[in-house]
Amino acid sequence: MGRHAGIFCGFVRIVERLIFVLVHHVGDRPDEAEASDRDDIHGRSDRHKRDRRVLVGSELDVIAIIGIVLLIGIVKKNAIMMIDFALDAERNEGMAPRDAIHQACLLRLRPILMTTMAALLGALPLMVGGGTGSELRQPLGIAIVGGLIVSQVLTLFTTPVIYLAFDSIAQRFRGRDRRAPAKI
């Protein structure tokens, strides 16, 4: 459990750092450095708008949030595919949890990558497209493409770690249940 917990804590630190960078965007773009601090119709200054931008220079709007909800569904489906296969291998083939999740990762990698690549390639025209209405579609494309890359890497690494951590917790509880004296 100690090694798995260390790996999981490392991933948590990476995610915390990414969130910190996204929230505290450091550095202004050259064209924005000369912008005045005039207020817009909502009473927000240009400086305030610059601070809300993420790494790509685009604000998180409703359309980008729709893309994030789509990402949550894809990541959840991929994790369920891996865990379902591992549980099936444990129950039907009598495999150890570590071997079962390893086999699940190997056999489910291709379908997971196919789903990810289909969504990513479908979102590329949204991200790079121009023309009328592109300012509405680009945040969606950016959220999908960037989110898919980051979330799939994290999912492929963290799902087995979390699976094994929960298995070790379940083993502890099963051990306590067996040692407890029977009450009549």
> What is the full per-residue pLDDT of the chain (184 aa) written as tens digits?
456 556 656 666 666 665 555 555 444 444 444 444 455 555 555 555 554 455 556 666 777 788 788 888 888 888 899 999 999 999 999 999 999 999 999 999 999 889 889 988 988 888 888 788 777 788 888 888 888 888 888 888 889 999 999 999 998 988 765 555 555 5
Which runs of consecutive H residues, i.e. helices, occur in 24-133? 30-33, 46-51, 62-93, 97-128
Residue ranges of the domains in the chain? 1-57, 61-184
Using a CB cutoff of 8 Å and minimum separation of 24, what contacts does 33-37 make?
A: none
Q: What is the pLDDT of residue 27?
A: 45
Distance CA 108, CA 25 (A): 36
61-184: which CATH topology?
Answer: Multidrug efflux transporter AcrB transmembrane fold (1.20.1640)
pTM over 0.75: no
Closest among 152, 143, 155, 157 to 117, alpha carbons compared? 152
Q: Is 46 helix (H, G, I), strand (E, B) or coil?
A: helix
Q: What is the pLDDT of residue 184?
A: 57
Q: How many Cα atoms within 13 Å fall on the side-chain side of residue 136?
A: 3
Structure-token pair, residue 142: 């950016």
